């Protein structure tokens, strides 16, 4: 097998992102060579959505519609390539918001049809974790922790297409806890990055906010309690003087400590399934940008923890192209087979194809 140029399109939420990636599947899977990112070109709607206080699916979809073609043109120009040079088109199909997903899938199908190139639908969650392989060699199985705006999951990852859920949030995702807490604190949207910055100037031990499911030995997470407790704190202390940054840092600390605590239970579960005592841990998703989380994990797990580089943590086309590079096979899909699957979190196109082949 030879090197392929892969186009990656990501539009599942509020980032329009397109990448061109070059790599040889055999080499990347054999941990011989990392893929080469030719261009990553993204447009974040954060500024446009701030006035709405969050993502409005219809507005996000319209913004993707406006941006996707100019972004694609620009990406090709930067890479000095033409559409015909692309060997494989890849696009997020699930999970995500219906309208935003549709814009990316329609663009991808059109390119595939016009250029007569195969197309692969990519599971956004798997792509977040596997993004580690854009810059590092990590072997399987590994323990994956995916923390984003919509999801917080522990996975046992046996191969690029074999993911087993070990734990999940029972209510809000970690990113939601940042964003909703940020709203209560009067910070902008999305608040994760702002809370991260303000926390550097505050004392994380000043106030105690609760850790969800603290006394349960499962590796499930819960973030609704911490958010309520922040709301109650702010209501009760309306007229009191408190150091704002201490509150922010303490709130962030509760979110982060919950992940650390539950990670030890996830390790236990991973051990029961694999007999591997000290597994490699991969952290991905937008919340993996958080500097406190990165610092605490690196201090505790040292070389055993692999954290996706910040530029590949938040939604991006490079992780989609990278996932496609690692998972495409010769019986690849053509546009008529590819459909969006907004609510499906866990079944990748590959699993579906496997099932179809078996039946
Ligand atoms: O993965 P992502 O870009 O989108 C989803 O798939 O949801 O993650 C976005 C989430 C948002 O909730 C945002 O507040 C959070 O990632 N985030 C952060 C940081 N940067 C982004 N959370 C904490 N600290 C950060 N530095
Ligand atoms: Zn994401």
End-to-end CA distance of the chain: 29
Read off the pLDDT of each residue in 228-257 and give the average, rounded to a whole number: 94
Which atom from ligand 1 is nearest to the alpha carbon of 178? Answer: 14
**pLDDT score for 47:** 76
Pocket test for ligand 1, best of 100, 178, 256, 308 (most atoms within 8 A of CB): 178
**Beta-sheet strand order (sheet of 119-123):** 36-44, 15-23, 4-10, 88-94, 119-123
Does 100 contact ligand 1 (Cβ within 6 A)? no
Read off the pLDDT of each residue in 266-290 and give the average, rounded to a whole number: 98
**For residue 355, what pLDDT band results from cuts at 50, 70 and 90?**
low
Taking 90 as the threshold, does the pLDDT of residue 356 lie above it? no
Does 144 contact ligand 1 (Cβ within 6 A)? no
Q: How far is the CA of 110 from the centre of ligand 1 (A)?
A: 30
Which atom from ligand 1 is nearest to the alpha carbon of 124? Answer: 6
User: Cβ of 315: how many Cβ atoms within 10 Å?
Assistant: 26
pTM, full prediction? 0.94
Whose alpha carbon is nearest atom 3 of ligand 1? 314
Pocket test for ligand 1, best of 149, 172, 195, 316 (most atoms within 8 A of CB): 149
Read off the pLDDT of each residue in 340-359 and give the average, rounded to a whole number: 59
Pocket test for ligand 1, best of 100, 153, 175, 310 (most atoms within 8 A of CB): 175
User: pLDDT tens, 257-272?
Assistant: 999 999 999 999 999 9
Q: How far is the CA of 285 from the centre of ligand 2 (A)?
A: 6
Pocket test for ligand 1, best of 101, 145, 148 (most atoms within 8 A of CB): 148
**pLDDT score for 52:** 77
Taking 80 as the threshold, does the pLDDT of residue 1 lie above it? no
Q: How far is the CA of 74 from the centre of ligand 1 (A)?
A: 26
Taking 80 as the threshold, does the pLDDT of residue 351 lie above it? no
Does 294 contact ligand 1 (Cβ within 6 A)? no
Give me the chain's average pLDDT, please.
Answer: 92
**For residue 245, what pLDDT band results from cuts at 50, 70 and 90?**
very high
Read off the pLDDT of each residue in 46-50 and give the average, rounded to a whole number: 76
Which atom from ligand 1 is nearest to the alpha carbon of 12? Answer: 6
Q: What is the percentage of the chain residues whose pLDDT exceeds 90? A: 83
Task: Considering every ligand atom shown, identify the ligand nearest to the alpha carbon of residue 147 and give its number.
Answer: 1
Tell me how far apart the 2 most distant CA atoms of the chain are, in Å.
Answer: 68
Q: In the Cβ-directed half-sphere of 64, how many Cα atoms lie within 13 Å?
A: 29
User: pLDDT tens, 71-81?
Assistant: 999 999 999 99
Residue 180 CA to residue 150 CA, distance in Å, equals 12
Task: Considering every ligand atom shown, identify the ligand nearest to the alpha carbon of residue 179 and give its number.
Answer: 1
Taking 70 as the threshold, does the pLDDT of residue 353 lie above it? no
Read off the pLDDT of each residue in 121-127 and give the average, rounded to a whole number: 95
Which atom from ligand 1 is nearest to the alpha carbon of 15? Answer: 3
User: pLDDT tens, 189-223?
Assistant: 899 999 999 999 999 999 999 999 999 999 999 99
Question: Cβ neighbours of residue 274 under 8 Å, at least 6 residues apart?
Answer: 141, 156
Are the CB atoms for 84 and 2 separated by under 8 Å? no
User: pLDDT tens, 79-112?
Assistant: 999 999 999 999 999 999 999 999 999 999 999 9
**pLDDT score for 195:** 98
Task: Considering every ligand atom shown, identify the ligand nearest to the alpha carbon of residue 127 and give its number.
Answer: 2
Taking 80 as the threshold, does the pLDDT of residue 348 lie above it? no
Q: How far is the CA of 190 from the centre of ligand 1 (A)?
A: 7
């Amino acid at each position: 097998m030879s090197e392929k140029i892969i186009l990656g399109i990501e539009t599942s939420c509020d980032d329009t992102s397109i990448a061109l990636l070059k790599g040889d599947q055999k080499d990347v899977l054999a941990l011989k060579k990392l893929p080469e990112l030719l261009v990553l070109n993204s447009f974040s709607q954060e500024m446009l959505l701030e006035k709405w206080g969050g993502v409005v699916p219809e507005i996000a979809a319209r913004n993707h519609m406006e941006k996707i073609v100019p972004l694609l043109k620009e990406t090709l120009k930067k890479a000095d390539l033409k559409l015909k040079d692309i060997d494989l088109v890849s696009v997020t199909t699930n999970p995500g918001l219906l309208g935003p997903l549709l814009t990316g899938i329609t663009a991808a199908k059109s390119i595939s049809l016009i250029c007569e190139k195969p197309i692969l639908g990519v599971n956004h969650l798997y792509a977040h974790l596997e993004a580690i392989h854009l810059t590092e060699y990590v072997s399987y199985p590994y323990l994956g922790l995916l923390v984003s705006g919509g999801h917080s999951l522990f996975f046992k990852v046996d191969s690029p297409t074999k993911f087993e859920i070990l734990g999940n949030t029972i209510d809000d995702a970690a990113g939601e806890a940042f964003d909703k807490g940020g709203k209560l604190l009067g910070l902008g949207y999305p608040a994760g990055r702002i809370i991260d910055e303000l926390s550097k100037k505050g004392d994380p031990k000043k106030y105690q906010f609760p850790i969800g499911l603290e006394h349960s030995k499962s590796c499930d997470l819960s973030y609704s309690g911490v958010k309520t407790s922040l709301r109650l704190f702010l209501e009760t202390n309306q007229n009191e003087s408190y150091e704002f940054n201490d509150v922010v840092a303490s709130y962030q600390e509760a979110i982060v400590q919950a992940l650390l605590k539950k990670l030890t239970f996830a390790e236990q579960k991973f051990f029961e399934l694999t007999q591997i005592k000290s597994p490699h841990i991969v952290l991905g998703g937008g919340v993996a940008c958080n500097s406190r989380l990165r610092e605490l994990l690196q201090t505790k797990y040292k070389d055993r923890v692999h954290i996706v580089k910040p530029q590949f943590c938040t939604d991006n086309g490079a992780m989609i192209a990278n996932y496609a590079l690692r998972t495409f096979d010769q019986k690849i899909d053509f546009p008529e087979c590819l459909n969006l699957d907004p609510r499906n979190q866990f079944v990748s196109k590959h699993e579906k194809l496997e099932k179809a082949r078996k039946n």
